[in-house]
Amino acid sequence: MRTLPAAIHVIVLAAFLVMPLAACSSLATRYDIIAEGYGLTPGKITAKGFVLRTYRNAEAHSPEQSLNLYLDGDGRPWRSRTSISLNPTPRQPLMLELMALDPQPSLYLGRPCYFGQEKAPGCSPLLWTSARYSETVVATMAAALEQIFREEKIQKLNLIGYSGGGVIAWLIAERLPQVTRLVTIAANLDVRAWTEHHGYSPLAASLDPSERQPLSAEIEHWHIIGTRDLQVPAKWLDDETQPAIQNAHIMRINSDHRCCWKNYWTEILRRTVASTSY
């Protein structure tokens, strides 16, 4: 069998080493292109030493209005059950797609170490695997929001989180007084039960809404679940004494974990964060 010359071996090896970095960069660029197509403006904000990606819609915001904040799912923490992903950024821009349907002033906030920041100082795979809902992640995103509040004099915030982003939204809601509404979509709010159900490794370094005190009754809390969702089964909502969903309005939608949320989003917005602008 013929073998490649040594020089070519070096070139091939270098190409394989560059490929993961190029993939990280191209995925972040892909989001920018998609966002531009929706009329959303990309940006960045630095908090606690981390750089977080943002996207905004074009709606003007005044202090009297509520800002709708969109938080995405966990993306791709693992490539397989035994291999950690080099780039956890979500492959499907579901929350950008939903935000594009929102006529209210809205902001998409990414997580630490996502969108090409995987190798940035302070980042490690721990922050998108076992510690994906950790104090570090939640405090960083809350600090970014507090910075936005100060700069833009925002007084009211509606948190909207999908899947694992719903977990983070819940954890942010308990610490920011500006939060008036929380909307979680297909969110695994009992983290321990979710990992045990799927046979996943315990998220030992993460916070778990099911193990914390219920949210303030002053926060209007909606939990929306797909009746065909196999990732976060709807039957988990039957026990409304769970701390994470106490005082919550429960809405069941004919959807699975990923499919068809866009079909219902305008109506969901109308029912959950309704204002005179809808």
Query: What is the CA 142 to chain-centroid distance, rounded?
Result: 13
Phi-psi region of 275 (alpha: psi -120 to 50; beta: other; left: phi over 0): beta
Domain ranges of the chain: 46-75+87-272
Nearest to 224 by CA among 242, 243, 239, 237: 237
Dump pLDDT digits (tens) for 171-217. Answer: 999 999 999 999 999 999 999 999 999 999 999 999 999 999 999 99
- Token pair recorded at residue 128: 């998108």
> What pLDDT band is residue 278 in, cutting at 50, 70 and 90?
very low
Whose structure tokens read 């091939």? Answer: 12
Q: How many CB atoms lie within 10 A of CB 65?
A: 16
Which CATH homologous superfamily contains domain 46-75+87-272? Answer: Alpha/Beta hydrolase fold, catalytic domain (3.40.50.1820)
- Token pair recorded at residue 68: 């709708």
Dump pLDDT digits (tens) for 123-142. Answer: 999 999 999 999 999 999 99
pTM value?
0.88
